[in-house]
Structure formats: structure tokens, C-alpha cells
Amino acid sequence: MFFVNIFRISLLLAGFLKIGKPLGVKLADLPNMKIWGIVIALISMTLSGLLLWFSLKKILIGTAYAVWTSIGAVGTFTIVVLFFGDPNIPLRWLGVAFILLGVILLKMGLDESNANAPHDARHYFDFWWPGAKSTRAKDT
């Protein structure tokens, strides 16, 4: 069931802020925007990373990372086509549609048992890192 919570909102905001990095770098190429472009890129990268980190407390990393990068990629592509004159051809938009389809399929691939799994990966390191205490029940 889809519902809105603070973790989903933070992931969406992180994705939109991810657009600021490539745009800031692009703006830094303009003579009167060198410093401001770099400042925009640094601030958006920092805030985007912090919001992604927060969202990972409740959202699976594979899904969160796919959503985060796809919002950044699709948003950046759309803005540079509309405002910076990048080529606007149907084949490029088909590529954007495939990115979105991939994220949708990743999200649909989660069933109830996976969606409620604990986000504790320490049990993967039990052999290599004996000090890591897992919350997973021991197999008998």
C-alpha cells in the first residue's frame, strides 16, 4: 500500500536536490555565475546526501538509490533540454521513459515479506567481523 511518510518525502527532496549539482556545474561555466554555480552544486550535493541518508532508515537501499538517481537524471535531462538547448529528439525521451520504467519495476518487485524485512545487514559480517552482533534469529 502506498502512503506518504517523512522518509519518502525526504527521498523525493533528495532526488530533486540532486538536480542542483549538474546544474550548478553547468552554471559555473557562465562567466558571471562561476562562484554561484559552485555554491549551488555544493549545497545541493550536501543536502541531497543528508536527505538520502535519512530516507535509508526505512527505505531499502536498492530502491532508494534507484529513485534518487532517476529523479536526478530525468530532472537534469528535462531541464537541460528545456532551458540549455540540449537535443530534443524522441529517442532521448524514450531513454528517459526506460529509466522511469526501471524504477517502477524495482518498486513493484517488492512484496510484503521483503518490504518489512529488517534493515540490519550486520548478520552478513558475522564471519568476517565477529564483533558485529546481529539481530537475526540464529538458525537451529
pLDDT by residue (tens digit) across 73-122?
A: 999 999 999 999 999 999 999 999 999 998 888 877 764 445 555 555 54
Length of the chain: 140
- Compute the distance between CA of residue 70 and CA of residue 110 in angstroms, rounded to an integer: 18
Whole-number pLDDT of residue 106: 81
pLDDT by residue (tens digit) across 38-84?
A: 999 999 999 999 999 999 999 889 889 999 999 999 999 999 999 99
More confident residue, 56 or 128: 56
pLDDT by residue (tens digit) across 1-31?
A: 456 789 999 999 999 999 999 999 999 999 9
- Compute the distance between CA of residue 18 and CA of residue 104 in angstroms, rounded to an integer: 19
59, 136, 139 from 130: Cα distances, Å: 27, 14, 17
- The pTM score is 0.72
Looking at residue 105, the DSSP 8-state letter turns out to be H
- Compute the distance between CA of residue 24 and CA of residue 39 in angstroms, rounded to an integer: 7
Q: SS3 of 133, please?
A: coil
Residue type, 130: P
